[in-house]
Amino acid sequence: MSNILIIGAGLAGLVAGWQAAASSTRRVRILSKGWGATHWHSGCIDVLGYYPLSNEQPVEVPLERLRLLIANEPHHPYALTGLEKIAEALTALQTLCQAAAYPLHGSLEQNWLIPTAAGALRPTCLAPQTMSAGDGRSTAPMLIVGFADTVDFYPHLIAANLTQQGIPAQGLLLEMPALQARHFNYPMTLARLMEQSDFRAEMVQRLKKQLAASPALDKAERLGFPAVLGLDNAAAIHQELEEKLGRRVFEIPGLPPSVAGIRLHHILLKAIRQAGGEVYDGLEVVRAECADDRLMQVVTENAGRPRPHRADQFVLATGGILGGGIVTDYAGRGREVVFNLPITLPHSRLDWFKQDFLDPGGHPIYQSGIRVNHIFQPVNGENQPIYPNLYAAGTTLAHAEAIRERSFEGIALTTGYTVGQLVISNYLAQGGNRGQPH
Amino acid sequence: MRTMQTEVLVIGGGATGAGVGQDLALRGFQCVLVEKRDLTHGTTGRYHGLLHSGGRYVVKDPKAAEECIEENRILRRIMPHCLEDTGGFFVATPWDDPAFGDKFMAGCQATGVPCEEISIAQMLREEPLLNPQISRCFRVPDGSADSFLATQCVGESARLHGAHILTYHEVKHLLRQGDKVIGAVCHDLVHDEDVTIYADMTVNASGAWAGQIAGTIGVEVRVMAGKGTMVAINHRVLNTVVNRCKMPADGDIIVPIHTVAVIGTTDVRVPDPEHFAIEPWEVQHMLDEGEKLIPGLKNMRMLRAWAGVRPLYQETAVADTRDVTRAYTLLDHEKRDGVSGFITITGGKWTTYRQMAQVTVDRVCEKLNTQRECRTAEEVLPHLPGFEPHHQYHTLGARLARAEAEKGFGELICECELATKQDVERAIVQGQAKTIDDVRRDVRLGMGPCQGGFCTLRVAGMWHSLKQTPVETTNVTLRDFLQERWKGLMPVLWGSQLKQERLDELIYLSVLNVDHLPGEKASRLGPKMYEPGTEMTQPHG
Ligand SMILES: Cc1cc2nc3c(=O)[nH]c(=O)nc-3n(C[C@H](O)[C@H](O)[C@H](O)COP(=O)(O)OP(=O)(O)OC[C@H]3O[C@@H](n4cnc5c(N)ncnc54)[C@H](O)[C@@H]3O)c2cc1C
C-alpha cells in the first residue's frame, strides 16, 4: 500500500514523485512500463521557444511570452500552473542539479540558443553547463569536433549551418583507435568511453595535434562535441576538457538515445530514492479498480499474473501519445489506457493532420489529451473531477503543442512539480495524515 | 538551350521505358531516355510488388495469364537477385465460392500456369497466420519483386550498352515537323533549363501520362488513370504471396516483400495521374479485406500507404489500328494518326515489361528499316556497381548476412533496412542522387518502421560532405525527404505508428530544430503530395 502512487517515469512522473517524496513522509511509489522521453530529448529544459507558433523568430524572453500565452490560452497547462510555479519549478530543478554537480544554467529572463546536431540554433530556457558555451548569441568562432567511425554526428554540416547563421565555425572528424576497434559506437558507448581517463587523454592529445597543425582550426575559441561527454561525471569531465584544451567546450544534442537526458533521469531517480520514494520500471499499468467512485488500486501486467497496487492518491503521468498513455486506432478512436479517462480528440481522423510535416501550427491530433481542472484533476464533460483522488501531469494533458512551442520539458517539469506538491497538500487536507508513514 | 541528337528517344523511366532503352541499346541503337523525376518515380515505384505467375488472370484473361507465366520464367533467369521466390497461394476464404477453385484449376491447365492443390493443414504449416477457415488452397509460382532494384539494373544494362539516361528531365512537348515527330523539348529540373532532343524515332513509354505526352502534338490517346492504393504492414506476416481464389477484385492479395507485407489494391478512376488522394475508405477497405485472409490484421501496426495509377487505354475510334493483346497497348501513330516517328507503348504489368519492350523495339526496327534480334530474354542483368554479383534469388536475411560479412553493422545509416554508410555513399556519388528520396530508392533507406526517423539526419550529414554544395541545399533536401515520408504516413497514422511519428517530430523539431535551419522550406524536387482525402467517398460499384 502506498499513499501516493504515480504512473509513469518520464520527466513529469519523476518530478512529481520527487516533490511528493521530498515534501512529506508519505509513502510515494512510481510504477512505469519503461523510461520516458528523458532518453530522447535534448537534455535541456525548453520552456517556450516559439510563440505565437506562426512566429519564426525564437522567443528571447520566455517570461514575456509566457504571460501572453497564459492570457491567450486559459486551458494551457502553463495557465494552470501559473507563472510563479513555473519559476519555482525551474529553480528547484536547478538547485537539485547543482547539488548533483551538474549545474543547469538559465532563467525565464532569457532563452539560450543552443546549436543542434543539424546546425540549427534551438531556443531553450535551462541548459546544462556542458552545453552553455555553445550559445549562438555569441559569435566567437567555433570548431565542431566529431568522431570517425560513428554515424550520428556530422561536424561539417553543423559548422556550415552555423557559419551561415553568422557564427564562424569549422568541422573536424577525429580518428580514435578505440572507436575503430569497436563495431557499435552509439551515444551511450561513447559516453561510457568518455568516462575513462585514458580515452579522454588520447582524445585531447589528438585534438591538440590537429589544432597545432592548422591555424584555421586553431582560431576556434570554443569547441563543440556531440553530447556524450560522460554520463554521471559530465560536469567534471567537461571542466577537465576545458582546462586541458585551453578553450571553452560545449556539447551539442543530437539523435537519441540522449545521454544528457539520461543524466537528468539519473539525478531525479537518486533524489526520489534519497527522499524515501520508490521507482519500479517494467510494470505496465493496465487498469484501475474503484469503490464508491474512489480509486482503490491499479493493476499491472506481470509475468504470470496481474498484480494489484493499492494507494490513496494516484497521479497519471503516462505522456500522451508519445509516451503510450493514449492509444489510437484505425477507426479514429482514442483511449487513455489506465483509467479510460475521456480525452480530447479531433472529431474525425481526417482532421488529425496538416499537409506539411513541419507545419508550424502542428498536427491537431497531438494536442489531444486529458482535460483537467485548476488542481489537475481529470474532469468529465461537466468539468467535474472524475475521481477525487486522481491527478494528471505532463504531456498527457490536453491543449498544448509541446513540440511546436518548444515547451516539452517545461510542461513536464512544471506540471509534475505542481502536481507533486498538490497531491500531498490535498491529501493531508483530506485527512491523509491518518495514513501510515513509512 | 542545350540540344542533343539521337536515333531513338524514350520518354518515361518506369519499367517499360527502361526496358525499351535496354532493348534498344542491346540491339545497337543510339538512345536517350528521359524521365521527369528519378527512375521508377511513376507507377513502377508505387506498385504491389508481385511477380505474377499468371494465376490472377487464368479465368478472366487467359492471354494475359500466358504472357505472365512466360515472362515469369524469363525474369527468374535474368534477374533472380531482384526477386524473391516466395511462391504463391490462391485461397478460398469463407467469403469466396469454393467452386471457383475448379474453374481456376482448369484455367491454369489451359494457360500453362503450374498449379497444385494442397491441403489446408499443409497451408497452415507454411503460413500459420492464414485464416483456418480457408477451404481450398492452390500453389502457383508467384514471387515478389523489387521494382526499384530491377529497374536500376535494367537501366544499368542500358547504360553499359551505350544508352544515355537523363533523370529529372521532364518532356514539355514533342517536336512536330509536318507529319513527323522529330524529338522533344525537355526541362532539366536540376539545372532549371530546357534541353531539345532530336530523334529519328520517339517512343512514348510514359504509362498513365501517355495521353498527356501525345496530346502535346494534338494526337489523341485516351488513357484513363486507375488508381490503386496499397498498405504495408509493419511485419512480414507471410512468406508466401497470398491471393483470394475468385475473380480479381479489391484488396485480395498480400505480397511479402523485404521486411514487410503489402495488402492491395483498390481500383478507382481518377481524372489524371498527378492528382489523387489516398481515401480513408480505401485504407479501411484494405484492412477489412486483409482481415479475411489474416484474422487480426486490422490491429497490426501499419507502416505506410501509397498509391499508383494504372494506365487504362480507351479506344477512341472504331477504326483504331491498335496492335493489341488485351494486356498492353502498342500504338503506331503513323498507321493510326498519320504521324510518323512516334509510337506509344502503355498498359501492361510490371511482370510483362520485357515483352512490351521487345514488341516496341521490333516496331522501331520495322520503322527504321532494319532487322535486329532481341536479346533481352537471354541477357542476365548486371548488378549495380559495388554489389557482389550473385545469381540466386534475393532472400530476407541477405542484407544482414552481407552487413555481417563486411562487419558493416556498426556503420548502419538506416538500421531498419540495414543500409550501410558505403551503400549510401555509393548511392549519393555513383548513383548521382539528386534527392534523399533517390537514395531511398537505391538502398531502401528510410523505408522501415521509423520511416526516416534516424537516417534522415545521417544522410543529410553525408550529403553535405559528399556534395559540397551550399548548406541550404542540404537543408532543403533534408526537409523534402521528411515531407516525402510524411506523405505516405498520414493515411495510416494511428496506434504505434502515430507514436513513432511523434518521436520523429521530437527528434527533428524539438531536438534538431530543422524547421528553422537556413534555406527554403521545400524545393521543386520535393514530393508531390497526395491530395487531401475527402470525407468517405464511396468505392465504385
Ligand atoms: C496499384 C497498382 C498495383 C500494381 N501491381 C502490380 C504487380 O503487383 N505486379 C505487376 O506485374 N504489375 C503491377 N502493376 C502494374 C505495373 O505497376 C505497371 O504496369 C508498370 O509499373 C508500368 O510501368 P510503366 O513504365 O509503363 O509506367 P510508369 O512506371 O508509370 O512509368 C512512366 C514514367 O513516365 C514518366 N513521365 C511521365 N510524364 C513524363 C514527362 N512529361 N517527361 C518525362 N517523363 C515522364 C513518369 O514519371 C513515370 O516514371 C500495378 C499497377 C498498379 C497501379
| Cβ proximity of B427 and B383 under 8 Å | no
Give the residues across from B88 on adjacent strands. Answer: B140, B241
| Residue A47 three-state SS | coil
Cis status of the peptide bond prior to A257, with omega within 30 of 0:
yes
- pLDDT computed for residue B535 by the predictor: 47
Interface predicted TM-score (ipTM) of this complex, two decimals: 0.97
| Cβ proximity of B10 and B344 under 8 Å | no
**Most A CBs within 10 Å, among B474, B479, B511, B517, to test the A interface:** B511
Neighbours of B212 (CB within 10 A): 17
Q: Which of B471, B499, B510 sits opposite A403 (nearest CB)?
A: B510
Decide if B498 and A156 are in contact by the 8 Å CB cutoff.
no
* Distance from the B399 Cα atom to the nearest Cα atom in chain A, whole angstroms: 17
Residue in the block written with cell 531525479: A268
| Cβ proximity of A17 and A279 under 8 Å | yes
For β-strands A28-35 and A278-281, DSSP reports them as parallel
Q: Which of B413, B516, B532 sits opposite A120 (nearest CB)?
A: B516
Q: Which of A156, A255, A328 sits opposite B465 (nearest CB)?
A: A156
Contacts with A329 from chain B: Cβ below 8 Å:
299, 494-495
In a domain, B130, yes or no: yes
Q: Which residues contact B107 (CB under 8 A, 6 or more apart)?
A: B58, B59, B62, B65, B113
Q: Which residues contact A431 (CB under 8 A, 6 or more apart)?
A: none
Measured distance CA(B98)–CA(B91) in Å, rounded: 9
Measured distance CA(B474)–CA(B470) in Å, rounded: 7
| Cβ proximity of A315 and A16 under 8 Å | yes
- pLDDT computed for residue B522 by the predictor: 96
Q: Which residues contact A138 (CB under 8 A, 6 or more apart)?
A: A167
Measured distance CA(B258)–CA(B448) in Å, rounded: 10
Q: Which three cell numbers stand for residue B509?
A: 523539431
B390 pLDDT higher than 80 = no
Q: Which of A40, A160, A360 sits opposite B503 (nearest CB)?
A: A40
φ, ψ for residue B490 (rounded to 5)? -45, -45
In a domain, B410, yes or no: yes
What one-character DSSP code corresponds to residue B299? G
Q: Which atom of ligand 1 approaches the CA of B19 most closely?
A: 25
- pLDDT computed for residue B402 by the predictor: 85
Neighbours of A356 (CB within 10 A): 17
Ligand 1: which residue has its CA nearest to atom 35?
A: B12
At B350-359, the pLDDT tens digits run: 999 999 999 9
Q: Which three cell numbers stand for residue B134?
A: 480457408
Contacts with B508 from chain A: Cβ below 8 Å:
358
- pLDDT computed for residue B321 by the predictor: 44
What one-character DSSP code corresponds to residue B415? T
| Cβ proximity of A69 and A76 under 8 Å | yes
Give the closest residue to A374 by CA, choosing from A75, A7, A72. A75
Q: Which three cell numbers stand for residue B378?
A: 537471354
Give the closest residue to A254 by CA, choosing from B386, B512, B217. B512
What one-character DSSP code corresponds to residue B511? I
Residue B273 Cβ contacting ligand 1 at under 6 Å: no
Decide if A42 and B474 are in contact by the 8 Å CB cutoff.
no
What kind and span of H or E run contains A206? Answer: helix A197-213
Measured distance CA(A187)–CA(A169) in Å, rounded: 23
Q: Which atom of ligand 1 approaches the CA of B348 most closely?
A: 19
Pocket test for ligand 1, best of B22, B68, B206, B331 (most atoms within 8 A of CB): B206
Measured distance CA(A365)–CA(A348) in Å, rounded: 10
Measured distance CA(A407)–CA(A413) in Å, rounded: 10
Domain with CATH 3.50.50.60 in chain A: 2-98+262-434
Q: What is the DSSP string of A53-91?
A: TT--SPPS-HHHHHHHHHHH-TTSHHHHH-HHHHHHHHH
Residue in the block written with cell 492570457: A71
In a domain, B192, yes or no: no
In a domain, B533, yes or no: no
Residue B426 Cβ contacting ligand 1 at under 6 Å: no
**How far, in Å, are A97, A191, A257 from residue A270 at the CA level?**
11, 20, 20
At B145-182, the pLDDT tens digits run: 999 999 999 999 999 999 999 999 999 999 999 999 99
**How far, in Å, are A344, B7, B11, B36, B166 from residue B197 at the CA level?**
58, 10, 11, 14, 11
- Helix H segments across B320-397? 333-337, 353-367
In a domain, B53, yes or no: no
Q: Tell me: do B510 and B411 sit in the same domain.
A: yes
Contacts with B511 from chain A: Cβ below 8 Å:
40-42, 116-117, 122, 253-256, 258
pLDDT tens track, chain A, 438 positions: 789 999 999 999 999 999 999 988 889 999 999 999 999 999 999 999 999 999 999 999 999 999 999 999 999 999 999 999 999 999 999 999 999 999 999 999 999 999 999 999 999 999 999 999 999 999 999 999 999 999 999 999 999 999 999 999 999 999 999 999 888 899 999 999 999 999 999 999 999 999 999 999 999 999 999 999 999 999 999 999 999 999 999 999 999 999 999 999 999 999 999 999 999 999 999 999 999 899 999 999 888 889 999 999 999 999 999 999 999 999 999 999 999 999 999 988 889 999 999 999 999 999 999 999 999 999 999 999 999 999 999 999 999 999 999 999 999 999 999 999 999 998 888 776 554 444
In a domain, B343, yes or no: no
Residue in the block written with cell 540495414: B418
Residue of B nearest to A330 (CA): B494
What's at A86, amino acid-wise?
I
- Topology (CATH level 3) of domain A132-252: Rossmann fold (3.40.50)
For β-strands B136-140 and B88-92, DSSP reports them as antiparallel
- pLDDT computed for residue B322 by the predictor: 44
Pocket test for ligand 1, best of B34, B43, B174 (most atoms within 8 A of CB): B43
- pLDDT computed for residue A429 by the predictor: 85
Q: At what angle do helices A11-22 and A83-99 cross, to 10 degrees?
A: 80
Q: Which of A151, A183, A408 sits opposite B510 (nearest CB)?
A: A408
Instruction: Determine the distance separating the centroid of ligand 1 and the alpha carbon of B42, expressed in angstroms.
Output: 5
Q: Which residues contact B496 (CB under 8 A, 6 or more apart)?
A: B234, B301
**Most A CBs within 10 Å, among B409, B489, B509, B529, to test the A interface:** B509
Q: Which three cell numbers stand for residue A27?
A: 509513502
Neighbours of A264 (CB within 10 A): 27
Q: At what angle do helices B15-26 and B353-367 cross, to 10 degrees?
A: 50
| Residue A18 three-state SS | helix
Neighbours of B100 (CB within 10 A): 18
**Angle subtended at Cα A173 by Cα A170 and Cα A178, rounded to the nearest 5 degrees:** 150
* Distance from the B424 Cα atom to the nearest Cα atom in chain A, whole angstroms: 12
**Angle subtended at Cα A56 by Cα A50 and Cα A57, rounded to the nearest 5 degrees:** 70
Cβ–Cβ contact A324 with B under 8 A:
yes
Residue B356 Cβ contacting ligand 1 at under 6 Å: no
Distance of CA A267 to the CA centre of its chain: 13
Measured distance CA(B413)–CA(A53) in Å, rounded: 33
What's at B71, amino acid-wise?
E
In a domain, B293, yes or no: yes
Decide if B515 and A258 are in contact by the 8 Å CB cutoff.
no
Measured distance CA(B430)–CA(B155) in Å, rounded: 14
Residues in chain A: 438
Residues 477-536 of B with CB under 8 A from A: 478-479, 482-483, 485-486, 490, 492-495, 498-499, 502-503, 505-518, 521, 529, 532-533, 535
What one-character DSSP code corresponds to residue A379? B
| Cβ proximity of B341 and B211 under 8 Å | no
Residue in the block written with cell 494506365: B311
Per CATH, domain A2-98+262-434 is 3.40.50.1980: no
At B58-90, the pLDDT tens digits run: 999 999 999 999 999 999 999 999 999 999 999
Contacts with B499 from chain A: Cβ below 8 Å:
321-322, 324
Cβ–Cβ contact A182 with B under 8 A:
yes
Residue in the block written with cell 520527466: A11
Identify the burial level of A199 via C-beta atoms within 10 angstroms of its C-beta, where 0-12 means exposed, 13-18 middle and 19 or more buried: middle
- Residue B233 is part of a domain; what is its CATH number? 3.30.9.10
Cβ–Cβ contact A358 with B under 8 A:
yes
Interval B45-67 mean pLDDT:
96
- pLDDT computed for residue B119 by the predictor: 98
What one-character DSSP code corresponds to residue B509? I
Measured distance CA(B192)–CA(B179) in Å, rounded: 30
Give the closest residue to A315 by CA, choosing from A412, A436, A401. A412
Measured distance CA(B161)–CA(B369) in Å, rounded: 21
Residue of B nearest to A179 (CA): B410
What one-character DSSP code corresponds to residue B531? B
Residue A246 falls in which region: left (phi positive, over 0), alpha (psi -120 to 50) or beta: left
Q: Tell me: do B414 and B301 sit in the same domain.
A: no
At B286-326, the pLDDT tens digits run: 999 999 999 999 999 999 999 999 998 887 654 444 444 45
Q: Domain count of chain B? A: 2
* Distance from the B279 Cα atom to the nearest Cα atom in chain A, whole angstroms: 10
Q: Tell me: do B423 and B290 sit in the same domain.
A: no
- Structural domain harbouring B423: 398-516
| Residue A122 three-state SS | strand
Measured distance CA(B204)–CA(B236) in Å, rounded: 37
Q: Which three cell numbers stand for residue B455?
A: 537516417
Interval B469-489 mean pLDDT:
97
Domain with CATH 3.40.50 in chain A: 132-252
* Distance from the B455 Cα atom to the nearest Cα atom in chain A, whole angstroms: 9
Q: Tell me: do B107 and B241 sit in the same domain.
A: yes
Q: Which three cell numbers stand for residue B141?
A: 509460382
Q: What is the DSSP string of B420-454?
A: EHHHHHHHHHTT--SSHHHHHHHH-TT-STTTTTT
Decide if B506 and A120 are in contact by the 8 Å CB cutoff.
no
